[in-house]
Structure 1
Amino acid sequence: MPIYEQQPDDILSADINAVQQPGPTYGDNVSPSWYDPINPLDDRRQTKELRDAAFRIDNSVGSLIATAPFNQFEDVEGYNPFEDELTLSGYEDYADAFIHSNSPQETAAIKQRIDRERNDKQMLADAGGAGVVSSIAMGVIDPINVAAMMIPGGAIVKGGSVATTAGKFALANTAGGVASEMALHSTQETRTLTESAINITLDAMIGGTLGSAAQLVKNRGELVTKVRNDLIGEQQSGQQNIPNNIPDNSSVGAMEVPNTTLEQETLKGPSFINRTMNVSPVGRVAQSPSKTARQINQQLTENNFTFAKNEEGIATFTAVETKVRGYETLVYKQVESTKDHFKQYRQSGGRDMNYYQFSEAVGDAMRNGDTHAIPQVAEAARSIRPIVEATKDRMVELGILREGVKVTTAQSYFPRIYKFDKILNDRTEFKKIIADWLEEINQTSINKAKGSLDRAEIGIDKARNASPQAERLGLEIKEAESWSGKKSLLMDDINKYQKIINEKNAVEVELNSLSNLAKLNKTQTRRQATLQRKLQRINDAENKLPALQRSVDILDNPRKFRNEHRRLTRTANSLTRHDRIRQSALNRMTPLEREELDAAADDIVNKIIGAPSGIVPSELIPDGLVKRAGFTKDRTLNIPDERIKDYLESDVNYVMENYIRQVAPEIELTAKFGRVDMDNQIKAITEEYNQLIADATTPKERSRLEARREADLRDIRAMRDRLLGTYGAPKDPASLFVRAGRVARHVNFLRLLGGMTISSLPDMARPIMQHGLRSALKPLGKMLTDISAMRIAKADLREMGIGLEYALSSRSKVIADLSDPYSRRSYLERGLQWSSQKFGNFTLMNQYTDTMKMWSGLITQSKVLKAANTLDAGGSLSKREIKKLAHIGIDESMLKRIAEQFKRHGEDLDGMLTGHSHLWDDRVVRETFQAAVLKDVRTTVITPGIGDTPLMMSSELGKIVMQFKTFFFATHNRALVSGIQSGDASFYYGALLQVALGSLVYILKAKMAGRDINTEPANLVKEGLDWSGMMGWLGEPNNVLENLSGGTYGMSAMFGGPPASRYQSRNGIGALLGPTFDLGGDIKNITSGVLNGEFDDREVRSVRKLLPFQNLFYLSPLLNQVEEQMK
């Protein structure tokens, strides 16, 4: 079993939103310095984001604007945000902000506002000095603060006191700061009193500084005179030389590349050649009038284009698509690990399970804590677990998943993919299982609601009791504060009252003695009245003394009593919240009827079987249940896997391949663009077009720009969705048309592409076209002669996602338009998928592709490492080398960092350099290097990408009509146009070699088919151009025309030879509408022959063409003989 040194998480991106490099490559990637936010000429994206964040956080107008949409939500009757604890999970500290929320949309908006405030604060904090300066600048231009600073302006008079003026400014700024903070508190949920206190203090300091500075300027004449009088000795006559210092945060030796211009983002090469790429979205957007669209196009979609900036050494962006393709390494490792453990199972004597059953057992084990009675199954599950955990952790880091997310449906997480056919065939039982589970959840929630009701009533009682206590304590604190600074007077009063109270016993004794007398004289009567008045004063003192003593206690420990007052106030204010919780609990105690549960289960089943492309949405619980007991706002179907395991896919190979292909784009899109939907980037394109349209001078030009904006946004969205696997998804994936089309494409692949390896022989010229003869042939010689070195290099390249075709057949599937990972899985479809997977190995296409990619990978890796070593040794690179490296995404600053990693981890295998990049400790360098090598390999050995084909080819009809055309569109973009753009001699002599190899393919194909070979030079050149693919998609219309016209029109008529041989086996309908309609024509021929009793050569040929593997190059000669005997 192979041991891989690279951990699964090494394949994942290094950081959120494109980790910045110390030696920046692009202007927008340079971290702002402290003075950039106040530099009006700095319009870089990062600086704008800092200013925007500070405007929203520290400016009352900006904060108000940020809250503007919050009065536009419709109330939802009975809605309560406190109904479910998960609703406010992570927002407990801001619970009071949700008290008046009356709809889920308003709750989500409040969360978004809180998130934005926290993100803005974090961005400002991370920016260091630049963040502080941004905040100060936005606070200074706050209208409240500006008005406050205007008030003491009249205090600046010549000869005035600096201290007095500074004090007036400080006082005015403090007042303005208090007003500003009050405004900010009213519009922000996360602002704290501590922040406000700090900001008000800063306002006072800034005001004092401005006031003193203003007064000093006003008094400058007197100050200069004073200084001159105080100077001793002669006045200095020369001016001091002040150096123009580099800012402290500038990097010495790193070239700061400014933000690129539209001209720098322009394609090289003749414009009429570039315009031939307008059939593909990547080619269209690359020529957009919007610079932002061009840049986002590069960041999203892999391409082989040469841009003007590459000649300046400015690197092309690393595309998200390239990084996503690197995840194939994880799929490969999972597949190989499962195979290795199956071999161990068989070697240990296990015979009860075949490979498919073993793969299903591994999937079951992954749902059950990676445990199984068969040790090889358990070990296989444990070996795959790090892949799942690594992707989960990355998704949590990027915010795709919630922090602390836990598995609730099984002992351990295993991606859930449904068996659609099983559900369709056994819908009633599946619906019953769902309905039973819904009923149990409802009943469990009712039981929990009773506990919530009890807790809410306790809370209500506490709140009601706390309200008068808080009010009383507040009055006591207020009374105590009235004695602040007068404690000695307070103590005097206490002592005075205490003395009065001390006389009480004596007064009462004397009064009692007087009251016992039968008759009082005048003196005794007066004495009694005096004593009664005195006793009243004593009673008054007794009443007042506790309040005075309480004031002393509060003044001695004010923090304790203020904290207690805040606690009581919070408890009292919780009355509304507890009352709403009580109402929610009462509502949840109403059980659902069985009819409601069955209807909800039916709705869930419909959503599952009707999911586009098999990607089932996470929100399956119907809206009507969300308000009922037991069902959370996220609407996730959290039924345990064990209860529906018969309806879930368990084949670990199928599930993990689809899981990785689904999460990889989500991870990389979020890491690069911040969100999967690329909303900010789409807005940026729209805003730039708004400016272009505003600057346009004629209505015609504005109309053209409007149309181009819509086209660019459509293309960007389409390429994003293609990467996600959702573009062109059918509304009803289970429909006969969709499934029949999928089956037909698999059948076409098996019956028509048996000779695709021979057809790919011209690809042998691609490394020469891309890199030159000398650079290409040296690694090839090493491959053929040094097996041990090649073994090391091969393992290194596989860590980058290169050379995995034998296990995955990914290139063959893309070329044959079979890359549909979410297809349904009937026995027929599963069998065809397995056959298609193996067919690439039977034809030797996968082995050939692996060899070609390994060769190309060795060339690219060695060239990059040699260039890095040259720079590290003090040498220099030619302009051509700099352009080539920038073309694949590496600039000179990155080369220096690559050299450092190579010195620590790389190896020189007798002239062939290998980096062992999976061991590199600088993750940014590792990912940049690996992506550059992978991109160059995928463009050298042409592997179609998400932007290479017309958008209509993603529709079901387009897939049928245009099957097997993908390669030609990709060749057009990645070989023909890009080669002309580069202008290298290697492209042209490589093209000659490719045409020669195309002629060889023509001869071999003709021999295999038993056709005559026309060796006239003109015909060989024509066939060489056609079979080599050098004409890209431009050759396809010609072949269709020749087929339909019988060679009367087209290139053959110009050269004077027979029609193109590549379409000779197709009928006219097949040439025009693709191999599936050609298949229909053959079926028609056979049917007609059987019905008419005329089964001649045409019908025999049609039968032959229907057979899978019929043109497999090593079987074809035998089948030719059988066909001849049947005619």
Structure 2
Amino acid sequence: MAGGAILGGLLGAGAGALFSRADLGRLSRMVEDAQQPGFDGATDVLHRELTDMAVGNRSVGAAAAPVDTLDDLSIAGGLAGKVAGATAQLNPMLRTLTSPSRVVRSVAASLMDTPVYLKKNLRGEGEIAAETAMQEWTRGAVAQAVEGQRLTYLEARKTGLRMSESEFRAEVGKAMRRGDKSEFPAVEKVAKEWRARVFEPLKKRAIAAGLLPEDVKVATAESYFSRVYNKEMITARESEFKDIVTRWAEKEIDRSALNSKRVLDAKTLDAQREINDLNMKVQRRETDLQERLQAGEISPDQFDENEVVQFARRVASGERPAMPQRLSEWLRKLQRDGIYDKNGDLAAAYPELRKIPGLLRKSRKGTQNTKGGLGLDDVVNRAWEEGFLNDAATATSDAFRDTVVERPTIRAFLDALDNDLRGGAVVRVADMEAARSVDDFDQVMRAMERSGIDFEKVRFATTEAMRGIAQAVNRSLADLDRAKIAKIDQGITEMNRRGDFDFVNEADRAAYVSEVVNNIFDMVTGKAGDAGPRIDLPVAKHGPLQDRTFMIPDVLIEQFLESDVQIIGQRYARLMAGDVELTDRFGSATLEGPIEEVMNDYSAMREKLIGDETIDAGERERQLKLLAARERADLRDLQGVRDLVRGEYRPDIQHTGFARILRAASAFNYMRALGGVAVANLTELVRPAMVHGMTAYMGQAIKPLLTNTAAIKLSVKEAKLAGAVTERILASRIATLAELTDPYSSASPIERFIENAAAGFSKMTGLLHLNDFNKSMASVLTQNRILQNAEKAVASGFDSLPAKERAYMGFLGLNEARTEAIGRLFAQHGETLENVRVANSEAWMDDGLRSAYRAAINKDVDSIIATKSAGDTPLFANTPLGRTLLQFRTFAIASNQRVLIRGLQEDKARFVGGLVGMISLGILAYMFKQIESGREISNNPGTLIAEGLDRSGIFSLGFEINNAIEKVGGPGAYGLAAAGGQALMPGADARQPASRFATRTAWGGFLGPTFDLGERTVGLASIGLRAINGNPDLTPGDIENIRRLAPFASLPYWRWMIDGMAVPAAKEAVK
């Protein structure tokens, strides 16, 4: 306190104006703390760690983290690996998992659902892919909402509601724009259920992941995320839409200008207050000095010179109060986490950050991208929670912070940082008084130096300088304060200079508004090169609305928005779940960091190859070319699957007239050709036993189904929440099998009619119920196996599990820690009902483990009952032409890895047993199809075995190629099988073509059902030409074409009558 006493004695009441007793005590403690030996020890340790990182080229804290090797990320199993290598060019999944780049394999495993075992899985290690995790939302949550919606609608109809189901869904969508309010109670109920199950949980996760733009507040985030534009309506009523948007833009400019003026006025007022305070301080200090002179309180001999010199010496040696941590200093200490400055805003405001090793990162941090940094929004949030900018650190809950202490914007943060760097000393709100006291202390020190105290030599300029020291210090303080006032005045002038809101004239303003409106119109209609549009629509690149998003109130453009809550909800879940899961893992939905790592990895491989002196120049050049080609392919695969997961793969080609024609043709093909699809899928009844074993299948699924349906229902309910059993509600699997899925669909009335007809056809096939039954049985076995392993892991440790069970858990992404944690949660919340384990995951308090458990269910069930993922089929198959050429064939490609390769990796006895069972059911399905179509059943054992193998789904890819070749008369498996059968049974019938291709034309066999459709349509058109030429008679070929083009005619209810009776009779009549 000696320093405070000296200052108080020198300046009397003037010092009291600068330092209260509490201030002096705080300053003294600051000085004492700064003298402690460990005061900045944490910073020293961090600095040493960062130096190690820079030298060793590793991220902070990553030294102990295991890094998967190339071998760890290889496909397990000798034969399985060979099959995968031989078929690797079929799809992005197998290509990336056989890449020479370790990084590519790692990213692929965390990006796409991989239904094959990797070698790391054999140790019980694995991850949950983004695509797998999102199914909890896109299927599970959406299906629950849709089912509740349908039940509520049916109940409301019974009580007098008079509207169609589509009108009901539209009313729900409108209610959600009005705070879930409606005149219809049933509409309100459904709106709240959609919000609780889908919209609100995903909105919270999106905000937590930093997907909310700066100018969109939490209160309006839901509208921002869920808006779906009716592009056809907007295009048809362009002028009306533009008029509404023009009025909105005008008001936004006025509102933004007003807000800007308010901010400017507030800053000006604060600056003026500071000027007034400084003027008052100068005046008060002068008045106090005069009063003390008149009263005789100031005496030349008041202090001993040695006492003042001793104080000066202590100050000169560093014994002075330290400024509380400033915003810029706090920012510099984020090296451990790093900062991802995407647009360079932070580096532009604070160039010195570039010199701090490891601080600025090239991508955002994620669970699979630990080298990334915090996003700028995360940095702002941390600064806010630390107490900078406003008093968020004193808030006791997130809800309180959202409503009382508003989170600062990124722009406000950057402005504060700029102020801090210019000397404004931005500190925590709690430290503001201490900062002011320190600033005043420094001001007094400068005044003392100007008054004759030489702090370098620790003496006065002259002995006489002791005389009148108080007066001299006060005069110096006044000069310093006046200089500060001049600087503030200059700042006020700069703040009030001409800005973005000053248009030259009304014509200038009108031109700007017109530019904004046209830009918005082009984006929402897809004319700006994006057929989306996605969520974020920037309003303008410059001017008053720069960096703003199109947040017009929904009610103003409601007539131009899609109101069907089911369409909105499914799109919302599709887009948001993909972006959230990708961001959680990779730091951004665009995979910026991982893609850069891939390129770096290939650069390292090239450098290694260039430095290899054991190969000659020609061979080196050849290998470099191969490496470059492989890098391009890997990047194309990763970026393509990324876009598929996000629902935006090549949107520029998805809405052309050609694409819409092909989409309608595919739906028509589905309705005319797949009526008997349920019978064709009978072989999948064996799949659960093939994966989990016949003992488990009979004891844990079939027996409880007959004796303990309550337990089965509880287990299936869990699978429904995960999204594994949703086919009856969403029909997602049958849509992928028929290539009817289109995340960009914006259909015309005719297209909607065809789509609705196809949806009705799906229900009539019976496959929806068969799929749900198969997936239900598979999910019961999957859950039992997971929970049984988890129980044992908790009781005896993860290593006590048999090797194949550890591998199974690793395959599902449930490593040792997750497995044991799930076991503890099951013990606390789950139950076992006569050999059926029910997790009751809704009661789990750990969202991460709940999601991991549900993702594991989805991964296993989607592999058992083959459901293709984004990486299962060629990227070409996701284009309009690709979907057309590969319609009904992508299942065969997906089965290659989901059934064959996985089967080769697991229990061999189960694989052989499953193979026999599926062949047997395949033969049975063949017989049913022959009876249904009125064709004879072959008595050739070779043909029966070939049909069983073909329909089993295990060797689908090979038979798809074989059957197309045999269709044009080429040799193949059926010919060899028939010959072998005749050798065993001389009386057996001769070669028959594959029954699956019996009704296809030669063109259809190679190029798909749409070309078959075209060929038959041309054949029918020839009837008119013949009639013109005087030959109006129909031929048997015309009857066949008519039959094959008739929708719904392939349904087994009446196909036996049409193909067995009506068609033969008609052909006979026209002969």
Q: Give TM-score, length-normalised by structure 2.
A: 0.71
Greater relative contact order structure (CA < 8 Å, 6+ sep) = 2
Whether contact under 8 Å (1:470, 1:568) holds in the other structure is no
Aligned to 1:1076: 1010
The residue type equivalent to 1:1104 in the other structure is R
Aligned to 2:709: 787
Cα separation, 1, equivalents of 2:508 and 2:713: 65
Aligned to 1:521: none
Whether contact under 8 Å (1:446, 1:590) holds in the other structure is no
Cα distance, 1:830 vs. partner? 2.1
The residue type equivalent to 1:744 in the other structure is A
Q: Secondary structure at the match of 1:574?
A: helix
In structure 2, do the counterparts of structure 1 residues 490 and 776 end up closer, same or farther at CA, with 3 Å as the change threshold?
farther
Whether contact under 8 Å (1:452, 1:585) holds in the other structure is no
Cα separation, 1, equivalents of 2:716 and 2:483: 68
The residue type equivalent to 1:606 in the other structure is D
Whether contact under 8 Å (1:1023, 1:1060) holds in the other structure is yes
Tell me the alpha carbon deviations over residues 941-972 of structure 1, each in whole angstroms, 9 at most, x when there is no partner: 10000111011111211111111111111100
Aligned to 2:682: 761
Cα distance, 1:550 vs. partner? 5.5
Whether contact under 8 Å (2:963, 2:972) holds in the other structure is no
In structure 2, do the counterparts of structure 1 residues 797 and 138 end up closer, same or farther at CA, with 3 Å as the change threshold?
closer
Cα separation, 1, equivalents of 2:953 and 2:259: 68
Cα separation, 2, equivalents of 1:942 and 1:726: 24
Cα distance, 1:1075 vs. partner? 1.0
In structure 2, do the counterparts of structure 1 residues 978 and 446 end up closer, same or farther at CA, with 3 Å as the change threshold?
closer
Whether contact under 8 Å (1:408, 1:640) holds in the other structure is no
* Alignment match of 2:1056 (pick from 1117, 1121, 1126): 1117
Tell me the alpha carbon deviations over residues 267-307 of structure 1, each in whole angstroms, 9 at most, x when there is no partner: 12334312213311100111112222212211111112122
Whether contact under 8 Å (2:708, 2:834) holds in the other structure is no
Cα distance, 1:138 vs. partner? 3.6
Cα separation, 1, equivalents of 2:1065 and 2:49: 90
Cα distance, 1:673 vs. partner? 1.1
Matches within 5 A, 1:144-293: 258-268=66-76, 269-270=78-79, 271-275=81-85, 276-293=87-104
The residue type equivalent to 1:1085 in the other structure is G
In structure 2, do the counterparts of structure 1 residues 130 and 1030 end up closer, same or farther at CA, with 3 Å as the change threshold?
farther
Q: Secondary structure at the match of 1:948?
A: coil
1:998 aligned onto 2:922 = yes
Aligned to 2:239: 428
Cα separation, 1, equivalents of 2:815 and 2:853: 11
Task: Tell me the C-alpha RMSD between the 2 structures.
Answer: 3.8
Whether contact under 8 Å (2:676, 2:1052) holds in the other structure is yes
1:1098 aligned onto 2:1020 = no
Aligned to 2:340: none
* Alignment match of 2:993 (pick from 1049, 1054, 1059): 1059
Cα separation, 2, equivalents of 1:820 and 1:1006: 33
Aligned to 1:363: 173
Cα separation, 1, equivalents of 2:278 and 2:787: 74
Aligned to 2:384: none
Cα distance, 1:139 vs. partner? 6.3
1:383 aligned onto 2:305 = no
Aligned to 1:188: none
Cα distance, 1:760 vs. partner? 0.5
Cα separation, 2, equivalents of 1:990 and 1:273: 19
Cα separation, 2, equivalents of 1:963 and 1:745: 7
* Alignment match of 2:911 (pick from 965, 975, 987): 987
Aligned to 1:133: 45
Aligned to 1:906: 830
Aligned to 2:206: 395
Cα separation, 2, equivalents of 1:1008 and 1:1081: 25
Aligned to 1:919: 843
In structure 2, do the counterparts of structure 1 residues 1016 and 406 end up closer, same or farther at CA, with 3 Å as the change threshold?
same
Q: Secondary structure at the match of 1:913?
A: strand
Whether contact under 8 Å (1:1041, 1:1050) holds in the other structure is no
* Alignment match of 1:632 (pick from 546, 552, 565): 546
Aligned to 2:1066: 1126
In structure 2, do the counterparts of structure 1 residues 281 and 546 end up closer, same or farther at CA, with 3 Å as the change threshold?
farther
Cα distance, 1:463 vs. partner? 9.5
Cα distance, 1:451 vs. partner? 6.8
Unaligned runs of 5+ in 1: 1-127, 144-248, 251-255, 477-486, 495-543
Tell me the alpha carbon deviations over residues 28-76 of structure 1, each in whole angstroms, 9 at most, x when there is no partner: xxxxxxxxxxxxxxxxxxxxxxxxxxxxxxxxxxxxxxxxxxxxxxxxx
In structure 2, do the counterparts of structure 1 residues 572 and 843 end up closer, same or farther at CA, with 3 Å as the change threshold?
same
Cα separation, 2, equivalents of 1:370 and 1:1115: 46
Q: Secondary structure at the match of 2:590?
A: coil
In structure 2, do the counterparts of structure 1 residues 570 and 405 end up closer, same or farther at CA, with 3 Å as the change threshold?
farther
* Alignment match of 2:153 (pick from 342, 366, 377): 342
Aligned to 2:781: 859
Cα separation, 2, equivalents of 1:914 and 1:1118: 46
The residue type equivalent to 1:374 in the other structure is F
Cα separation, 1, equivalents of 2:705 and 2:517: 60
Aligned to 2:422: none
The residue type equivalent to 2:891 in the other structure is F
Aligned to 2:495: 578
Identity over the aligned pairs, expressed in percent?
Answer: 29
Matches within 5 A, 1:995-1074: 995-1045=919-969, 1048=971, 1051-1053=974-976, 1055-1056=978-979, 1057-1074=991-1008
Whether contact under 8 Å (1:359, 1:653) holds in the other structure is yes
Cα separation, 1, equivalents of 2:585 and 2:218: 28
Cα distance, 1:571 vs. partner? 2.9
Whether contact under 8 Å (2:531, 2:652) holds in the other structure is no
* Alignment match of 2:596 (pick from 666, 674, 683): 683
Aligned to 1:615: 532
In structure 2, do the counterparts of structure 1 residues 456 and 272 end up closer, same or farther at CA, with 3 Å as the change threshold?
closer
Cα separation, 1, equivalents of 2:475 and 2:157: 81
Tell me the alpha carbon deviations over residues 658-679 of structure 1, each in whole angstroms, 9 at most, x when there is no partner: 1111100001001111111111
In structure 2, do the counterparts of structure 1 residues 475 and 1089 end up closer, same or farther at CA, with 3 Å as the change threshold?
farther
Aligned to 2:451: none
Aligned to 1:606: 522
Q: Secondary structure at the match of 1:754?
A: coil
Aligned to 1:874: 796
The residue type equivalent to 1:647 in the other structure is F
Cα distance, 1:909 vs. partner? 0.9
Aligned to 1:737: 658
**Number of equivalent positions:** 819
In structure 2, do the counterparts of structure 1 residues 936 and 462 end up closer, same or farther at CA, with 3 Å as the change threshold?
same
Cα distance, 1:545 vs. partner? 12
The residue type equivalent to 1:897 in the other structure is A
The residue type equivalent to 1:1116 in the other structure is R
Cα distance, 1:549 vs. partner? 4.0
Whether contact under 8 Å (1:453, 1:585) holds in the other structure is no
Whether contact under 8 Å (1:366, 1:413) holds in the other structure is no
Matches within 5 A, 1:821-840: 821-840=743-762
Cα separation, 1, equivalents of 2:116 and 2:562: 41
Q: Secondary structure at the match of 2:936?
A: coil
Q: Secondary structure at the match of 1:908?
A: strand
Q: Give TM-score, length-normalised by structure 1.
A: 0.67
Q: Secondary structure at the match of 2:722?
A: coil
Aligned to 1:218: none
Unaligned runs of 5+ in 2: 1-39, 56-60, 288-297, 306-464, 980-990, 1027-1031
Q: Report which of the two structures shows the higher radius of gyration computed on alpha carbons.
A: 1
Cα distance, 1:493 vs. partner? 11
Aligned to 2:576: 663
The residue type equivalent to 1:1019 in the other structure is T
Aligned to 1:319: 129
In structure 2, do the counterparts of structure 1 residues 467 and 793 end up closer, same or farther at CA, with 3 Å as the change threshold?
same
In structure 2, do the counterparts of structure 1 residues 613 and 1018 end up closer, same or farther at CA, with 3 Å as the change threshold?
farther
Whether contact under 8 Å (2:301, 2:467) holds in the other structure is no
